[in-house]
Structures are given as structure tokens and as C-alpha cells.
Structure 1
Amino acid sequence: MLKSYSFNNLLPSEIKELTLRNVDASEEIGHRVNVIIDEVMAKGDAALRDYAQQFDGVVLEQLYIEQDEIDALAATLNRLEQRALEIAFNNIHRFHAAQLRKEKKIETMPGVNCWREPRPIEKVGLYVPGGTAVLPSTFLMLGIPARIAGCKEIVVCSPPQKDGKVNAYLAYVAKLLQIDRIYLAGGAQAIAAMAYGTESIPQVNKVFGPGNQYVTKAKTLLQSRMGLAIDMPAGPSEVLVIADASANARYVAADLLAQAEHGVDSQSILVSTDEDLIAAVNLELRTQLSVLARASFAQKALENSYSVSCDTLADAIHFSNEYAPEHLIIQSDNWEEIVPKVANAGSVFLGHLTPESAGDYASGTNHTLPTSAFARAYSGVSVDSFVKKITFQHIDSKGIQQIGSTVEVLAEIEGLQAHKNAVSIRLQDIKDKK
């Protein structure tokens, strides 16, 4: 079922081509997204209503729901569903709360003290995808670190359902996060609305959230067009599984399908040192795919996926680092030996009993992660994503005398006389007072 490649038969150029994905070579997506951005910028709410009717099949009188409707929707969940969301909330909060640490002041020289202090980004926009699946887990993953960071204004956009509201699960998460308004906008148009602001949706300083190719393209285009800060390019989703002879074919197939069912543009990659395992996984894929509710999505994604056979785990991790997956699963008894060699990955799942699904929902780590090889340079969302870290320094009389001559010499080297003078006049004043 998976197209098969042999690592030993691949040239470096072929590996590079094989690991390339979601490239808009014809710029078709970019063109369409630019049109959407221009429409939202020019027409504001009217454009959002038009796009809601065109893409979501719903006529909206109001582009948001507020506390009363959120409460009513949340109340429709049964206690088992509520409890599952609460446990996920608590685990994610516990993991992220530990990330907000106060840094020590550092005396770099006697009398010269430097330190950093975090400050929350004041206005943030959270995009929670809807489309073919409603993702309350993404709302948790974005909203919790935003709350921990202390962001003053949290703007949430999610595509409207056919009834012109949002899913009850999103409403319950809104209650957990103490968010009293959800804006009914999806896709690239939601990103544009948060970037520029409309009559209803406030402009924000930074936009967060995963999405399809259109959402990701909107984020990157707006970053270049008007300087919008974004978390990272995040979407479509992907997984790479490294598996050896100790792996369970049923588990591997389940993990590949868990990612494939996200959407037709998802990708699931198997890299294995065992040819028999690859064959067994292909059989399992057929068996498990046949009973999935979202089999059509998963089938399309698998057509864009493949397996790579390797002689050694060293080759497998080499290929993985070249691919730089959003999610990396290592199904091997020897996973501890492999961990230090992981150079590029968004989030890593270790051993035979650690499905990526756990990280998607409730283990505590964040599932908003870099895709399309951006894990080579980006990290996943964390509390740090929602803060700026401002440096401070204080120099006393002893300190300026310690560091002054060094600054004067360096200013001279660069030919910046005013820089030197800013130090020299202070040193002279201290000398005159003695």
C-alpha cells in the first residue's frame, strides 16, 4: 500500500526531493490566498460573511457567539466528555506552567548586572481549525499557554458549523479557558481578519494555530506582506515512524493511519530496518483502513505517503533528520540509544506504548508543531511563544569604570564617536568627583 524506497539506492538529491512536501511551485495556492487577504482587508466583515456562505455553507448575521450561547452549548456535553477535556486541560496546564521560569540576574563584571524578564504579548489570535474535523484539543493547546503567559486579549477564530455556531466541545474548552467570545471565521480569511482587524474581529499582534495549506500560506504571506508575527508554519500534518524488528506492525499501522485521517494532504512515512515489518504493516493498513469512518481521507493521504527500508537505525535517523518530521515515533526496544541522534523533529514519541495520539490530546506536550521540514529551525508552541523576553541591565559607578574603557575602544574600532562619548563623559564625571 505504501510506495517503497530503499535508503541505499537513494542519492542525496533524491532524498532531498523525497522529503520535500507542500511546495506551492505553481503559486496557485498563494494567488488564491492573496485574493482572500485583499478581500478581507478591503471589505472586512462583509468579506467574512461571503466566505462563510461560500466555504462553510452558512449565512451569518453575527460573526461571533458570546457567553450565553457558549454556556448553552457547553451544557449539552455529558459528564464523561467534560471530564476528558478537564483531564487534558490539567495535564497540558501542568506541563506548560513549568515553562514560565524567572531567570537569574547575571553580574558579567563587578557592578554590571544583566537579566531578562518575560512580558506577555498583549493581543494574540488563536486559530482553531474546523473543516472536516473539529479540534477542541487545538483550542486547549493554544489557549492554555496563552493564559499562563498572561496575554491580555485572546481572540479566537473557528469556522462556523452549519447551525451558525461552534461545536459544543469548543464551547466547553472556552469555559475552561474563561474565554467569553468565539469568532465565526475559518481558513485564510480568519488569519487575514486577525492580522488586519475588521469591524467585529480585533487586530492582534501574533497569530497562532495549525491548518491546511491555505491557512499556512495565509500566515506566511501576511508575515511578509504586513509584518504579522506568527507561531510557525503549521500544517498540513505529518508523521514519520522509525521501526525495527522489535516493533508491532499493528501499532505502526495504527500510528500511520492516525495521522493520515487528518486530511488528504497529510503524510505518513515509515522508515524501517526490517523488510518483513514493512510488508506486515502494509497488510495491517488495509485491515485497519477498512473500518475507519474517515477512510476516504486516510486513503488519499496514504497515496502521498511511502516507506523507506534501511540497513541500520543510523540510516533511519539520518533519513528522519533530513525529513524533519512534525511528529517522530520511534518504535524500537533501543529507543534510548536513538534519542541523542534526533536533530530535527517537532515532537518525539518513544517506545512501543507511546502513540502520537497521546500527545495530540492529553499527555501534556503541545501538538501545535512545525511541519514541512520547518522543524529544522522552529520549535512547537510553548509558553515562550506567547511572551517577549526583554533584557535589562544596570551599571553602577564601579561597573562603568570596569567596562568603560572596553566600550570606548570598541566604539573607536567601529568609528562611532558618539557611542564612545556616551561612556567618556560619565567616566570623566566620576573622575572629577574624586
Structure 2
Amino acid sequence: MQNKIEIFNNQVIINYNLAYPKSREVLLKSHTFAKFVQYFIEYQETDNANMYAYLTKNGELSSKEAAYDFCHFLRLLSIFTCEELKDEYYLSDKDATLDVIEEMYRTWRSLQRFGYMKSDNSTDFGINTLVTFDSASNDLLLRTYRLFEEKLMGRPNLVYRQVQAGTNACFSVHTLDKVWADEYAALQDIPMIDTVMLRTPMILHPKSSKRTGMFTEIDTQPMTYFKKGESNWFCYPCKVGALLCFVYFNSKYMSSALSMANLFELATKEESAQKPDLVVIFGNDDGNDDTNFYYDKANDIWVGCISDNPRIEYFGYLKKMCLTLHNLAQMKKGWLPIHGAFVNIYLKDGTKKGIMLMGDSGAGKSESIEALKAAAGDMIREVEVVFDDMGTIHLEDGVPYGQGTEIGAFIRLDDLDPGTPYRDMDRSIFMAP
């Protein structure tokens, strides 16, 4: 069952089909908004005792009662002036109420915020529906915050900042008519993502910043112990190189999964109806702490399974499992996986050269490419990056070809020349900056 709003694991997920704020009146009257206010009040109980006492009227109200009481006040304040509401409890100390509004807004924006909705069959659904709805919601939240702020200050703002007040990202989903094999029937009703909108630069704060352990092959089909638990699940269908990969993820790890939109190309609806080459189960509620993979010989599918654990919030677990399954599938075809960088260099005299650099992490592959650009800049017309982390080499009629796996890059800010990570800053996702 899909909920209107979920607030957990330092993130909020809103189902736009059930809880879309069409107007300020709808927003302030909604269960969704009241649930966030209740979350905020309960957060204050341990973080700010004075604010908690103020909102609960020194303990006279429960957090739920206080949330609905404060929402009622905000509905009044959205219509009347402070002078007309001078007998209201929350206007006995306007400075304290202004502090509440400011802290509530800051708390909202400190969460990782996501929205989603069902897609339909229209060809322009994404830009005309998903993006429009989410952008209108962002504008509504920003205008509502400013209205309360300016009424309590008694004057308009002098400086306005058009920050991201709504979601960090949103997406649309559909469900499959049928699953490709009976063994995967438990995945049948998990919604498939078909459109993603990222508000970049997108700044995320995962609890973990490194990957530990090994990916181990097992002889047990992970679908036999697949458990959804109490969380909602979604699927990000993508292309890893030329292979179709379905990433089924626990909604706890929404930020990691949606970050894949900058790394692996999102599959089309038509492609997501096909049998995948690779399947990843990310955040399996099996009570273990495993990172395993299995080859389903009967269906020719490589299946990776990563147990639900706080450490897997690090994006590297998801990326490396996808690449590991890709490499295993390609090796089975006789292709050679390469951990390195491959570039095509187009010289000003019209010639083209392919250069591949291999080495361990931190060996200097990316730095060498940057140094080459600087040292031979007067001779180079263009440098085309085929892959800068993982790719494959294969032979066609005796000629070696290089093929990449990703459409973007996942790099440490301190890995490259200081300016390099920021050239595409407006399109980037920053994790734990």
C-alpha cells in the first residue's frame, strides 16, 4: 500500500497522486502537512526543549494535537493580519513564532525530499505533467514560507533567494503487465520508474562514505529469500553499457537510486517490459549483512542482492554491484572488462587516436588524461571520453573496440584538478560534500 507521505531515514517521500498541494489552502489543511509538523515538533522534544514547550503549550497538547493546532493557526494567518489575530496564542510572542517558522523551514530543507506520481500513456507526460506539477509545488512552498515570514516580521523581505524549497528530485512510475519469469513473481507489483527530474546541483548527505567487504558468488537464488519488509519498493530500469539492468530498491535508499540517473541511462518503457540481463535487489530485509550475486542459468540473468544495512547508503555499493554483474555477463561472452579510462583524441591535423589507461583506484588515470590535455592542448582539437572508470574491450573482425558502461562519472572531489569537478556543477550531484 502506497502512503501519502513517508518521513524516515532523514528523507521525505510524497506520493503526488494522493497528496499533491494544488493551493495554499489545500496544503495547510492536508494530513501530509500536519504529519510533517508533527515530525518537526517531536524532533524539537530532544533538540530544542524550549521550542517544544512553546508548541505543546507546556505539555498540555500531545505532539499530534499541537501539530493540528499550529496548522489551524497557520491557516488563519494565511488569510488575516497579525492585528486581526492579536488574541491568538501564537501571536503572544511573535519572535518565538517566527523562530518556529524559520526552524521548521530549515528542518524541511535539511531532509532529502522526493516526490513521485503515476505516469499515463501521453507522449509528453514528463515535461507537461511531472515537471510542471513539481515546479508548481516548489513555488507554492516557497511563497507560503515567505508569506508567514513577512507577516510575522511586519515587513517584506529585502533580499529573495530562489532556493529549492520543494523536492530534490521527482519521478513517475508505471507497473508491469507481467513479469518475465515465474521465479521473479514477487517483483511483479513493484513500480517501474520511467521519468526522473533532478534539481541540480543536488546535495545529499549519506551516512556512509566508503565501501567495505566483497561481492561473493552464491548458489542460492536471492529471490527465494527476497523480503520487502515494511518499506515501499521501486525499480530503476537502466542500461549498463549495452545490458539491461533492473535495480529494485528499498525506498530507504531513494537518494542512491535516483542518483543513478546521472550515471546509468534510464531505460524506456518499452525496454523495461523486456527480460533484463541483470537484476539488483538493493536493501533486502533479510536480516543479514551480505553483498552477494547469483547466476540464474535457466533465465540467463545475473542477480545481485545487497542486504538492508545503514552502511549500504554509500552510493558505491549500488554502482559497483551493477558494474560487477555487467562484467560477469560480458566475460561470459568473451569480452574483457577494464578498470581504467579510455579516450578518443582528435588532433587538429585530422587524425584520431585511442588511448586506454589501466590501474588501481588512485593510480592517476584521470589525472593523466587531464595532464595530457594541458600538455598537448595546442595539438588537440577534442578529447572524447569513452569511459573513465569501467568499460570493456572486445574484438570485431580482429579489431579491438572499447565500450563504456556509464553516461556520467562518480568521482571524489579531491581526485582531479581543482576546477574539473565544478565545470558541470549545475548538472551535478554532490554526496557528503
- Shorter chain as denominator, the TM-score bin is under 0.3
**TM-score, length-scaled by structure 2:** 0.23
Q: Which has the higher helix share?
A: 1
Q: Which has the higher strand share?
A: 2
Q: Quick one: higher RCO (CA 8 Å, sep 6+), 1 or 2?
A: 1
